[in-house]
Amino acid sequence: MAAPLRAPKGTYDVLPGSPFLAVREALLGPAALAGYDYVEAPVFEDTELFARGVGASTDIVTKEMFTFTDRGDRSLTLRPEGTAGVLRAALQAGLQHGQLPVKLRYAGPMFRAERPQAGRFRQFQQVGVEALGSDDPALDAEVVALAASAYAGLGLTGVRALVTSLGDAACRPAYREALTAFLDGLDLDAETRRRAAINPLRVLDDGRPEVQAQLEGAPLMADALCDACRAHHEAVLGHLAALGVAVEPAPRLVRGLDYYTRTTFEFVHGGLGAQSAVGGGGRYDGLSQELGGPPLPGIGWALGVERTLLALEAEGVAAPGAPRLTAFVVPLGAAAKARAVTLVAELRAAGVAADLAYGDRGLKGAMKAADRSGAAYAVVLGDRDLEAGAAPVKDLRTGEQTPVALDALLTHLQEQSP
RNA sequence: GUGGGUGUAGCUCAGUUGGCAGAGCACCGGGUUGUGAUCCCGGUUGUCGCGGGUUCGACCCCCGUCACUCACCCCA
pLDDT tens for A267-284 read 999 888 888 899 999 999
Q: Are residues A239 and A357 in the same domain?
A: no
Flag whether A275 is in a domain: yes
Q: Are residues A306 and A345 in the same domain?
A: no
Flag whether A129 is in a domain: yes
pLDDT for the residue A63 = 86
Choose among A12, A336, A284, A251: nearest CA to A143.
A284
Q: Are residues A261 and A351 in the same domain?
A: no
Alpha-carbon Rg for chain A, nearest whole angstrom, is: 27
Q: Are residues A407 and A277 in the same domain?
A: no
Flag whether A192 is in a domain: no
pLDDT for the residue A3 = 57
Q: Are residues A242 and A332 in the same domain?
A: no
**Distance, angstroms, CA A416 to C1' B14?**
48
pLDDT for the residue A316 = 84
The helix, strand and coil proportions of chain A, stated in percent and rounded to the nearest 5, come to 40, 20, 40
Flag whether A385 is in a domain: yes
A339 touches strand B (CB under 7 A): no
Q: Are residues A331 and A305 in the same domain?
A: no
pLDDT < 70 regions, chain A: 1-4, 207, 322-323
pLDDT tens for A75-94 read 999 999 999 999 999 999 99
A126 touches strand B (CB under 7 A): yes
| Domain stop point among A260, A283, A315 | A315
Flag whether A236 is in a domain: yes
Tell me the C-alpha distance between A378 and A367, whole Å. Answer: 8
Give me the domain span that covers residue A361: 327-416
Q: Which residues contact A180 (CB under 8 A, 6 or more apart)?
A: A196, A200
pLDDT for the residue A103 = 98
Q: Are residues A268 and A303 in the same domain?
A: yes
| Domain stop point among A315, A342, A358 | A315
CATH number of the CATH domain containing A353: 3.40.50.800
Q: Are residues A126 and A247 in the same domain?
A: yes
Q: Are residues A409 and A356 in the same domain?
A: yes
Q: Are residues A262 and A349 in the same domain?
A: no
pLDDT for the residue A1 = 38
ipTM of the complex: 0.84
Residues 376-405 of A with CB under 7 A from strand B: 378, 380, 382-385, 391-392, 394, 396-399, 401
Total domains in chain A come to 2
**Distance, angstroms, CA A381 to C1' B37?**
21
**Distance, angstroms, CA A335 to C1' B76?**
54
pLDDT for the residue A4 = 61
Flag whether A338 is in a domain: yes
Flag whether A41 is in a domain: yes
**Distance, angstroms, CA A2 to C1' B9?**
20
| Domain stop point among A274, A295, A315 | A315
The torsion angle over the Cα atoms of residues A332, A335, A337 and A342, rounded to 10 degrees, is -140
Flag whether A4 is in a domain: no
**Distance, angstroms, CA A14 to C1' B43?**
32
